[in-house]
Structure 1
């Protein structure tokens, strides 16, 4: 200003010329600036100061042009670096860096306009007005960047937090590891240029557990560095500006992995410490307090999600226990009923035969009664064998020696032994397959027994056999009560019975289809079902016509080489 003393004008001029270097030092602190550029900028400022204070005359146009060029170039460089950092940032840090970009651009315009107002006397008022306007805008932008109002911070954080909440609702919850990985992937864009790790406390191990991800910097967490342990124990968020100085014991490890800054936010629900959310960077953070505040908000949400997962897991385990208890009760009731029936018959028939023998010792032998005793005893033996198979099948398997067998003849044999007046229609062709004949008889007998049992209103049972694409295809279809679609996936599990069957009067242990599936799969085949409630069911068994490689090679101890029958 021409009305001010010359010394004040020179000090003001030098102070304005110093601003670009100060801004460049800020850029160097968080993003790094080439040492040569820092030396040139510092040297330039010294030369400007020397020429300003040691020259007696008023600075001329050459000085003003050089000072303007110096300021504009450094302001421009710093603004570009802020812009690049803003593109790599997110959330509140991105907004603040964008404000600095605007502030730097306006400040460069203000300096250039101020110099031009001195150099161009004819348009002095216009350039001076533009300079003041740009300087005012720059001050507002820098204030928003370096000292944003709380309302600005809340608004800038809200959108990113809402995005995280939306993504977290879609996170997979098959396991805790899947959930944590999904949350880390969602957090990474919100705290950019940093490596994110959720370390959860393990009561059994007595330490924070971390997973080895692709990012090498995260390996600094393997030994629970001191800053992380302190933040977890104190349950307070912390920012480590220089990891090497803060934790000298691990300085070499930090240097090797390129770790400079660490931000830690505790993951806590009420007073329960669940773990920590850690962000690791290779450079100091310009707006560390903002990013730490964001990290704390995210850690609170992670705590809620991890707690909810734990509660859901406990609920699932409780329901599974309740279901297992229900299955056990159903099984015990069914087993007691199925064992009680032949026992009652055996006792009644034995008592009857005893009375007849006592009254008339010379009476002819009751062949029919003996046959009834044998039949009920065999029924009890089958039930006991089923229970033994269910108990030891997982250890020793079901399938024994496999021989080439005519499935057509085997099916005819089993159908002939079915004690029922129901019409069973069989249509098929001779098909040879390597099977355990006794176990395949069991499969077919179980399927026929189910078809008859669950067709209380009658109807034909259709059995077919064919060869298709190297497989023997056996199907058993009925026109009975059918199976609900939501129960089909569970009917091949041990002790499982459909809801309608459990509530009705049809007996059974819930083992028949489980045996069928295990036996068929141990033959290298597969079993499937198509069913509709009220329309019946169709079970299909597919068996390979040649032994699968893993079975033929003798991987199963119980199996023996195939031989012709």
Structure 2
């Protein structure tokens, strides 16, 4: 797609901007450093010059201040500082050690002579015997002023402070000079910037012209036109790139012819294929994927093309392309998710030229999810049934052999052995009946006979039977209690009464089996706006978290030894789940280890009002 590039997005613009930015950065660094150093140098020179003038004045004032005739000091000082002048000097004052002003060069301030000075810098200079400097802004003129207070030290060996000289100068001229230099530097920078833009534009054109030609040529190649050739402008990197593009054009043309021939052959193979088909190049990168394969693998054609076939099939971590080429065996690929099982069987074959050169791989995918599921269920069923039947049969065989060996003659042992044999027989009969019931449900032959049922009374009836059972001799040493927590509103549900009683019996039997002596079984009945929910909670050991998702699986037992000793078949909860699902409801369990388990049953219902019965 030959999309027009805006100027500010072009390489020319970027090159010019790079040059300008580099120039600005360089000028900023050089200029800031130059101006800063210049300012320091000019200010320093100004202050040194004023300091030398004050030093000369101090040397002249020293013998005057040491003279014994004090009456002539003020006149001598006045005559001396009147003649004192210098660049920017505003005023010169001389103050004695007692803070009295001996003289000033400002004619407008002669009235201050003989008065005490209140200037804090003067006081500081006299107290410390050292120079004091300060800079401030004149509030009237807004000019910068620099003040120097320098002590006059006696040169007679006593180092007494004879007074101080206060010099006040206008330093604004120095800063004006610096500003003029800044303006000159700014003008020079603007001229340099303009020249840089012109130079950068010339350089960018020399670079972008060959690039533009390369772009046009690559667009032609992308459109299938391989006839054009780039003009090589030089032997630099751009020239080498131009030669590389010319060579690429020739090779792409050859490759395109080969690819089209291969594609036509593969398309003819895929025309009547109903299974998933993937084809790769010699590097194992997918070049063809039909719609069935996209549907099976859950991937679009755009995402699959160019990807490694091993990566798409999820085998890139445990297998290499070389191993795939060498084995060419059928493999199973499991793409199952939590909600959707999916197992694919892939068959591989090589695409070879007459010379034997391998130019690609073809993979044909078959959906074998149902076959694998049936095979797993068959193996699991045979294993579970064999295991469940072997245990009672082995037990019966042992007891029957004992009876055959003469135990039938013992009046005490024989009845007990026969009783155990009868119990094991009954257990096998129950398991066979449960298996037949599940088989009928799986085949859809177990038809429900729903009728409008008062679920409150049905649940009460089942609990009443268990209350009577807990009072029988079999539980005389146990102290179980059943607690009821029902809604006061009567709830009517379309349900098969016998099947629902079978479900409640299964759950309550389990609750009693696994409840500790003295435990309480809590049964609740509640309603929502469109569901009735029954729950049965025990105070047993609970179900481990890892086992909770499997409690409704066929033949699954959390505590296999205990469940088998209590006569369980491992099918009760599986049957209960099938019954509830046939009613359009749900059954699930929640458990905390060490605290107990709660089974929930929810059934859909439509609330009935009294007017509905009329």
After TM superposition, the score normalised by the length of structure 1 is 0.42
Q: Between Structure 1 and Structure 2, which shows a larger proportion of strand residues?
A: 2
Structure showing greater radius of gyration is 2
After TM superposition, the score normalised by the length of structure 2 is 0.39
Q: Between Structure 1 and Structure 2, which shows a larger proportion of helix residues?
A: 1
